[in-house]
Structure 1
Amino acid sequence: MSHARALEQAPWLRSGPTARVLALLNGDGEEARVVGGAVRNALLQRPIGDIDLATTAVPKEVVRRAKAAGIKSVPTGIEHGTVTLVVDKHPFEVTTLREDTETYGRKAKVAFGRDWARDAERRDFTINGLSVDAKGVVHDYVGGLDDITARRVRFIGDPAQRIAEDYLRILRFFRMHAAYGAGDPDRAGCLACIAGRAGLAQLSAERVRMEMLKLVVADGAVVAVTAMADGGLLQMILGGVGYTGPFAGMIAAERELGIAPSAVRRLGALALVITEDARRVAAKLRLTNAEAKALEAMADHWWQLAGLDEAAARRWLYRLGETAYLDRLMLAWARMGDGNETAHWRELARLPQRWQAPKFPLKAADFIARGIAEGPALGHVLAQAEQAWLAAEFPLDGAALSAIADETVARFTHDHRL
């Protein structure tokens, strides 16, 4: 039986593109509703992203009605009952009600139906099993309204069966809890995820990567990730140890600085100690080249950034650049930070906001004019001069620069005469 509650303050249902699609699909014996994440987020008063609809109408009827109304339709998954309608540049996935007739992993055999309850029961979590009609009435066949009120993420029906249908639901369970749950994850769901964890090996690295990068930036990521570590899931996902303490430390550091969460930075805090860890995680999750490079740069001798004074921090910022400097410093902060030193770490992290590293002002011509021939020797002298310039704290006046150039050439010449 359906339990209903009015969805308050939902102008997007009453007017605009969503209302137009609902009006198109309703009537003449058919009904359409908004389903899934849009309903969940509206009830939680969170931003609404994509708006998906379900309908009793079969795909051919959806396409026919769209054509008659001059609305573009795209058969994005028509064999599975999904047609995308584009209204005022807004895409809407419209899927015919379905029910499973056979289930074997992700390849469940489905048939089109007209039963809203059966369609809801084949979804993953109760908070995703809600639908709202054009009048703003929310229909709940699976207990999703109570779970939204309690901020509880539960599988619909038997958790083990839901997981066996798609093992990615293990990661989605923890990600959804991190985003929408409160307190500890649902015990029955957690135990089912642990029991089914071997199924994670069947998932593509790309799907796991997508879920993990979303999970680590969710508001409740610490609780979810800790539960995953306790259940033996993190080691399977990362191919190594998961460090929940530094992970929590990274989140605390981000909040201390008031900066937006970084998925790659948080992943680094969770998985990295040395550069080999970065390579392993990048391969395991099939990270993009940019993500892999960022992790490796973060892991490279991060401990050397602990306890820096201002002068040393400026030298590191000059060498690494702003992004790599902040990533590596924050990994050091997350792994070694002491609560009594928060102010010092904060000042080091904010260095790029108050100081911009100048460019090394000496050029090859300055040393050629002092008798250094072009070739390997010139490159060596330039590198030595740059180190001397850094040690002198970035002087820019001509006299200081001439002195550095002269001293570097003299030292090089002396060393090569010995």
Structure 2
Amino acid sequence: MLITQKIDTPEYRALLTPHLLKLAELFHASQYEIRVAGGAVRDILMGILPHDVDFATTATPDQMKDMFTKAQIRMINSNGEKHGTITARVDDTENFEITTLRIDVTTDGRHAEVEYTQDWQLDANRRDLTMNALFLDLNGTIYDYFNGIEDLHDRRVRFVGDAEQRIREDYLRILRYFRFFGRFASDNAAHDEQTLKAIRDNANGLKDIAGERLWIELRRIATGRNAGSILKVMLEQGIGQYLGIPSNADLTQLEDHWRQCYQAKPHEMTILTKLFRDMNELGEFDQRMKYSNDCRRLSQLLVTYRDSISLLDPSSNDRLKPYKDLLIDLIMNDPTVKERIVELLKYQHHLAEAQQFSEWNMPRFPVTGTTLTSKGIKQGPNFRLILNALRDSWKQSHFQATEEQLIDEVLPHVLETLENVDTTGSKQKKRKDK
């Protein structure tokens, strides 16, 4: 049953730029309808100015191209045309993505063969959630075919029509359901059991979804509202095995982990790495997902150091010393490692210390290779060993030792130690040769 609602809010009026009004007039003059579609309407109803605005129309792609050509409006990004989307650039200033109303003729759980229609309800019927199946015309009227306005008001996340059918059209909707539940549902909202059953019964469909698409949704869930409880319920439905997540991961520990660090706005991998006990389990996740090298480096650092690096005793003058030392050791090969060590502190639930560490300005190691060369030390196998030994002494001094102190007081002992090692090694080699 169609429900309409008239609005006149600041968020709605902000959409009505001169460029959009010019576009709307063109569609009206050509006797085609155009409306804002989906998530932008949902956001406007919630008092949020949408960042991405999609439009739907009764005009076919060919009709739009003909209309824009005659109006001398440039079209860009022709790749969208195969999906029924034309992108118009009005006055060489503002882009508008406009998609022809569609129905799904056949689906395989990943892709759909579509057919164009002029029926707004049929297009709404192919969308995932009721709150995403809304349309808004440019006169301020919202069109709601599936009680999406009421669901949004009550913070209820519900599939359009039959949940199982919607999921089988695109199995990624399983993750989208949990993402939107985390974003919009009330804090103590319960999941509909029939919806969860539909998810469990169709979870294996996720095995054929590309890792890139899975990661886009999973990372949003992990950084979203109530992520701990959302991830727990989601993985309890048996979908972890299709995401590269161990089926026996400790979900209670995960929920508690999120609760203790979410206020510091942790990176998604700072939350998700709690699911993996070792590098082997993390490696399986890495193979299934397609994410950035930054994510990969962060998760590997967390697994490597989460149990071996910890704050010093509260009586220490510098409880962060182990983390500072780690930064000194790693930064030569990884200039961005400081950000990851901040995340390590968040992972360990040291939120105040994470902030302190992020604000710490690392002092410069006063000795360089040029310094050693000027002291007559030649490049060779021991050159790096000497620098590392001086750096260790500098760390032990809490970064207070000067270049003069390191060269005059520490360097002689380092050279003597290396000479003794070399001498002992030569004697042992001679004895073996005999």
- TM-score category, normalised to shorter length: 0.7 to 0.9
- Is 1:176 aligned with 2:184? no
Q: 2:41 aligns with which of 39, 42, 50?
A: 39
1:278 aligned residue: 282
1:382 aligned residue: 387
Tell me how far 1:172 sits from its aligned partner: 1.0
1:51 aligned residue: 53
Contact 2:109 2:205 in 1 (8 A): no
The SS at the match of 1:303 is coil
Aligned-partner Cα distance in 1 for 2:338–2:255: 22
Contact 2:232 2:254 in 1 (8 A): no
1:76 aligned residue: 79
The SS at the match of 1:266 is helix
Q: 1:291 aligns with which of 289, 292, 295?
A: 295
- Is 1:323 aligned with 2:339? yes
CA gap of 1:118–1:368, structure 2 versus 1, over 3 A, is closer
Q: CA offsets per residue over residues 161-188 of structure 1, 9 Å max, x none?
A: 1111111111111111122222233332
Q: CA offsets per residue over residues 342-376 of structure 1, 9 Å max, x none?
A: xxx23431333443222222234555666755311
CA gap of 1:250–1:223, structure 2 versus 1, over 3 A, is closer
Tell me how far 1:398 sits from its aligned partner: 4.5
Tell me how far 1:24 sits from its aligned partner: 2.0
* Identical pairs, percent: 27
2:128 aligned residue: 124
Any unmatched runs of 5+ in structure 2? Answer: 313-318, 331-336, 425-434
Q: 2:399 aligns with which of 385, 391, 394?
A: 394
- Is 1:349 aligned with 2:354? yes
| AA matched with 1:289 | N
Aligned-partner Cα distance in 1 for 2:109–2:212: 18
Contact 1:179 1:221 in 2 (8 A): no
Q: 2:230 aligns with which of 224, 228, 243?
A: 224
Q: How many residue pairs end up in the alignment?
A: 403
CA gap of 1:85–1:369, structure 2 versus 1, over 3 A, is closer
Tell me how far 1:103 sits from its aligned partner: 4.2
Any unmatched runs of 5+ in structure 1? Answer: 334-344
Aligned-partner Cα distance in 2 for 1:409–1:112: 80
Aligned-partner Cα distance in 2 for 1:54–1:398: 68
Contact 2:343 2:354 in 1 (8 A): no
Q: CA offsets per residue over residues 207-256 of structure 1, 9 Å max, x none?
A: 1111112221112322321111211112331332545434653464241x
CA gap of 1:346–1:170, structure 2 versus 1, over 3 A, is closer
1:340 aligned residue: none
Aligned-partner Cα distance in 2 for 1:53–1:212: 26
Tell me how far 1:404 sits from its aligned partner: 1.8
CA RMSD in angstroms, aligned pairs only: 2.4
CA gap of 1:61–1:212, structure 2 versus 1, over 3 A, is same
- Is 1:233 aligned with 2:233? no
1:210 aligned residue: 216
Q: CA offsets per residue over residues 263-314 of structure 1, 9 Å max, x none?
A: 2333323x33333333322211022223212221222122122233233333
Contact 2:58 2:100 in 1 (8 A): yes
Contact 1:209 1:285 in 2 (8 A): yes
Contact 1:171 1:212 in 2 (8 A): yes
Aligned-partner Cα distance in 2 for 1:107–1:364: 58
Tell me how far 1:46 sits from its aligned partner: 2.1
Moved more, 134-143 or 348-357: 348-357
Q: 2:304 aligns with which of 286, 300, 306?
A: 300
The SS at the match of 1:33 is strand
2:198 aligned residue: 192
2:427 aligned residue: none
Contact 1:305 1:332 in 2 (8 A): no
Tell me how far 1:413 sits from its aligned partner: 2.6
Tell me how far 1:41 sits from its aligned partner: 0.8
Aligned-partner Cα distance in 2 for 1:290–1:346: 21
Contact 1:305 1:328 in 2 (8 A): no
CA gap of 1:213–1:77, structure 2 versus 1, over 3 A, is same
CA gap of 1:246–1:371, structure 2 versus 1, over 3 A, is farther
CA gap of 1:70–1:242, structure 2 versus 1, over 3 A, is farther
Q: CA offsets per residue over residues 26-78 of structure 1, 9 Å max, x none?
A: 25542111110110111112230221111112222212222233222244333
Q: 2:112 aligns with which of 108, 111, 130?
A: 108
The SS at the match of 2:48 is coil
2:333 aligned residue: none
CA gap of 1:60–1:190, structure 2 versus 1, over 3 A, is same
Aligned-partner Cα distance in 2 for 1:100–1:157: 15
| AA matched with 1:267 | L
Aligned-partner Cα distance in 2 for 1:251–1:22: 47
| AA matched with 2:214 | V
CA gap of 1:100–1:368, structure 2 versus 1, over 3 A, is closer
CA gap of 1:254–1:111, structure 2 versus 1, over 3 A, is closer
The SS at the match of 1:77 is helix
Aligned-partner Cα distance in 1 for 2:114–2:359: 60
Tell me how far 1:416 sits from its aligned partner: 3.7
Aligned-partner Cα distance in 1 for 2:234–2:297: 26
Aligned-partner Cα distance in 1 for 2:175–2:70: 42
CA gap of 1:246–1:307, structure 2 versus 1, over 3 A, is farther
Moved more, 387-396 or 73-82: 73-82
The SS at the match of 1:383 is helix
